[in-house]
C-alpha cells in the first residue's frame, strides 16, 4: 500500500518537471490544469458529489494553512482558480507553490485512503501526462501511462 510519501514524491516530480521558474500566475494556471486532470480521472469512479465533498475538505485545511487559497472554489470541473491567478502575481512564488503542492498531495492522499489506493496509479499517471503535455510531449488522451490500458468503455484499467 502506498502512503502520503508516494503522493508527495509524485507531486514533487511533477513540480520539478514543469513548474520550476514559472511566474506565479502561470504556475496557478498550470495547477488548475493538473487538478482538472485529476478530477476528471477520479470523477469516473467517484462522481461529482463525492469528489466535491473531498475537495471541500481539502480546501478547508489548505485555506487554514495558506489563507490566500481561500479564493479557490469547487466547480463541476474541479477547481475554479481565476481569482487565485489574478492574486498570484503579488504573491511570493515559494509560498504559492507550497500551498498548491499541499492541495495536490492532500487530494491524492484522501483519494488514496478512500479507495485503498486503487486509483493511485491512474491519478499519478494523469499528473505525469500534464507534465508531458506542458513539455510538448503528449497530446491529451493519445497514450496511456505504463501499466494503464483503456478498457472497453474507455475507462483506464490497471493491467
Q: What is the pLDDT of residue 89?
A: 86
Q: What is the pLDDT of residue 10?
A: 96
Which residues of the chain fall short of a pLDDT of 70? 1-3, 136-159
**Among the listed residues 37, 23, 22, the one whose alpha carbon sits nearest the alpha carbon of residue 78:** 37
pLDDT digits (tens, 9 = 90+) for 3-18: 679 999 999 999 999 8
Cα distance between residue 2 and residue 11, in whole Å: 14
Q: What is the pLDDT of residue 19?
A: 84
Cα distance between residue 101 and residue 97, in whole Å: 6
Which residues lie across from 156 on neighbouring strands?
A: 150
Cα distance between residue 115 and residue 111, in whole Å: 6
Amino acid at each position: 500500500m502506498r502512503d502520503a510519501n508516494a503522493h508527495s514524491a509524485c507531486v514533487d516530480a511533477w513540480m520539478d518537471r514543469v513548474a520550476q521558474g514559472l511566474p506565479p500566475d502561470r504556475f496557478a494556471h498550470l495547477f488548475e490544469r493538473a487538478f482538472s486532470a485529476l478530477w476528471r480521472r477520479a470523477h469516473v469512479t467517484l462522481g461529482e458529489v463525492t469528489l466535491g465533498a473531498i475537495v471541500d475538505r481539502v480546501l478547508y485545511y489548505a485555506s487554514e494553512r495558506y489563507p490566500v487559497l481561500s479564493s479557490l472554489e469547487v466547480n463541476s470541473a474541479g477547481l475554479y482558480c481565476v481569482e487565485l491567478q489574478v492574486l498570484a502575481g503579488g504573491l511570493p512564488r515559494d509560498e504559492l507553490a507550497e500551498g498548491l503542492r499541499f492541495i495536490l498531495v492532500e487530494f491524492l492522499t484522501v483519494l488514496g485512503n478512500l479507495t485503498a489506493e486503487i486509483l493511485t496509479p491512474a491519478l499519478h499517471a494523469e499528473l505525469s501526462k500534464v507534465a508531458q503535455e506542458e513539455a510538448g510531449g503528449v497530446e491529451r488522451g493519445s497514450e496511456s501511462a505504463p501499466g494503464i490500458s483503456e478498457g472497453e468503455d474507455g475507462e483506464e484499467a490497471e493491467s
